[in-house]
Amino acid sequence: MLRFIGENADGQFVLPDAAGIEINCELGVPADDITVSFSQDLPVLWRIYAVTGSFQSVDGAEENGALAFVGIVDEQSSVTDAFDSVTRVYARSPAALALDSECEPGEYVLPSADVMYRRHLMPFGIKTDSLSNEKIGTEMSISRGASHYGAVRKFCETFLGTTPRIGSTGVFRSDAYLDGEELTFGSGGIGYSSIKVRYRRCCRISKVIAAAGGASVSVENGGAVSEGIERVRRIDLADSRTGTLIDADDLIAAGEKAAFQAQTVCRGFLGDIIGKRARIDIPGGEGLVIVKTKYTSNAGGETTTVTFARKEER
């Protein structure tokens, strides 16, 4: 069971036990979100922190790896009648600060991941592990109205070929996918009470024809062809993302990713596991990545619904 610490002008203080909790995390969605209900009236909160264990302070929880969510409160509502009071708090993770704030437009010449982090994320208190200060690419423009998060995402997608992620506790990494230990779901690993699997052959592409000027090149998906898939796509490299055959490979990879999806319902709180490699004890359950989680806690118990997909290779 998660416990909560609130923060406002009076400082930090322990909140009562929650009556209901929902936490949503998804790969590609900039900010995670949390909704917490309490069976009593509360002072207006600026931030809300979810912790595991019985820690009474945010610093203590963070030092011991027990900080589960840092929430910037977006909305707080309360309903009071003759019988009881209910307070509902909706908050987003620290990525919301960089997402909601516009940055100054301009041009970057030879930008690096470290420079982009320091200019666009660090001012909002977002942390990170060590980033490369190597200058990458040539030039990148930031248009008027772009958010600080949007500037960083553009850098990662353009020069690193990655999707960035800012986790539930406000830690940035330039690649949302994690190459560490693979999580096993099912026999010998994390148990689940139910599983749902979808196979969508309609998403798979057998061949991409890439045109460049008056010539064209075919990129074939041998696995799809061997399974009787006949679905051809055409792209013009002059209008594509990189202008190379990487775009054809990306199109095939995106189809393979969308063709398989699995979802398990597990007991308890699993933490921020977005982007981790995973396998499920079912046929075809290898080579997966966790793309979405939904944690719920109420009178009926605690569960985490985990959504898996095939990793989109680049």
Tens digits of residue pLDDT in 11-23: 999 999 999 999 9
Cα 302 to Cα 296: distance, rounded to the nearest angstrom: 6
CA distance readout (Å), 127 to 58, 206, 295: 15, 42, 24
User: What CATH code would you report for 97-173?
Assistant: 3.55.50
Question: 183 near 277, Cβ under 8 Å?
Answer: yes
Supply the pTM of this predicted model: 0.87
Region 189-201: mean pLDDT is: 94
Residue-range domain boundaries for the chain: 3-93, 97-173, 183-310
**Taking the C-alpha atoms of 48, 54, 59 and 60 in order, what is their torsion angle to the nearest 10 degrees?**
-170
Reading the block at residue 185, the tokens are 């779901």
Percent of the chain with pLDDT over 70: 96
Region 43-51: mean pLDDT is: 97
Does the pLDDT value for residue 314 go beyond 60?
Answer: no
Name the DSSP class of 66. -
More confident: 80 or 95: 95
Does the pLDDT value for residue 156 go beyond 80?
Answer: yes
Question: 41 near 78, Cβ under 8 Å?
Answer: yes
Whole-number pLDDT of residue 313: 55
Tens digits of residue pLDDT in 53-93: 888 889 988 888 899 999 999 999 999 888 889 999 999 99
Nearest to residue 155, comparing CAs of 103, 207, 198, 225? 103
Backbone angles phi, psi at 197, to 5 degrees: -125, 135
Tens digits of residue pLDDT in 220-268: 998 889 989 999 998 887 777 666 676 788 888 888 888 889 999 999 9
More confident: 137 or 280: 280
Q: Which long-range contacts (CB under 8 A, 24 or more apart) does 170-173 make?
A: 170/70, 170/93, 170/94, 170/95, 170/125, 170/126, 170/127, 171/126, 171/127, 171/128, 171/129, 172/117, 172/121, 172/126, 172/127, 172/128, 173/128, 173/129
- For residue 36, the cross-strand partners are 21, 89
Name the DSSP class of 147. B
Name the DSSP class of 101. S
Whole-number pLDDT of residue 204: 87
Region 274-282: mean pLDDT is: 95
Cα 183 to Cα 186: distance, rounded to the nearest angstrom: 10
Contacts of residue 247, defined as CB under 8 A and 6 or more positions apart, other chains included, come to: 210, 235, 237, 240, 241
Could you give the strand order of the β-sheet that contains 171-173, starting from the edge strand earlier in sequence?
A: 127-128, 171-173, 165-166
Across all residues in the chain, what is the average pLDDT? Answer: 91
Question: 42 near 15, Cβ under 8 Å?
Answer: yes
Whole-number pLDDT of residue 243: 65
Cα 282 to Cα 197: distance, rounded to the nearest angstrom: 10
Question: 78 near 110, Cβ under 8 Å?
Answer: no
Whole-number pLDDT of residue 137: 62
Assign 117 to helix, strand or coil.
helix
**Taking the C-alpha atoms of 173, 174, 177 and 178 in order, what is their torsion angle to the nearest 10 degrees?**
-50
Cα 291 to Cα 31: distance, rounded to the nearest angstrom: 14
Name the least confident of 23-37, 177-191, 230-244: 230-244
Whole-number pLDDT of residue 247: 78
